Amino acid sequence: MMIEFCWPTTTGEMLAFGVAVMTIFFGLLLFFMPRFSFRILHLQTIEERPDAIAESRGTMAGFYLGCGLGCIMLAQPLIYLVLGMSWAFTALGRLAAIVFDRAGTPFNLVSVVIEALLAALPLAYVFGYI
């Protein structure tokens, strides 16, 4: 049996595919440029704790790369559902931090909007809205 790569054919699938590509981009950034990524995210590492960089390359980048590449390689609506739900819970976590931790900084407000958009596009495709 041969696995065949399927390019997106509908507008909704193209948007969901685009979110998967963006997710892969974030993963690559976290994997290959963890210190730069942490500066973008307003996080700081200290010399005595090099395991923070391992967290970026392992947990953070690994999840983004695995989820994004899985979506592109399998190109199934239920896989895009997982992508949309992952971004939705990312937005929910940031929203909880804004409300409960008083983290309503401009960076977090913009981030929650971007994450909600990244969640909405694959979910709209999966549920047939686009």
Domain positions in the chain are 11-126
Task: Read off the pLDDT of residues 84-123 as tens digits, 9 standing for 90 and up.
Answer: 999 999 999 999 999 999 999 999 999 999 999 999 999 9
Express each pLDDT in 10-68 by its tens digit: 999 999 999 999 999 999 999 999 999 999 988 888 888 878 888 888 989 999 999 99
Distance separating alpha carbons of residues 95 and 74, to the nearest angstrom: 31
pTM reported for the whole predicted model: 0.90
Tokens (6 digits) for 55: 């967290």
Q: Which two structure tokens, joined as six digits, stand for 76?
A: 């199934």
Measured CA to CA, the distance from residue 102 to residue 32 in angstroms comes to 31
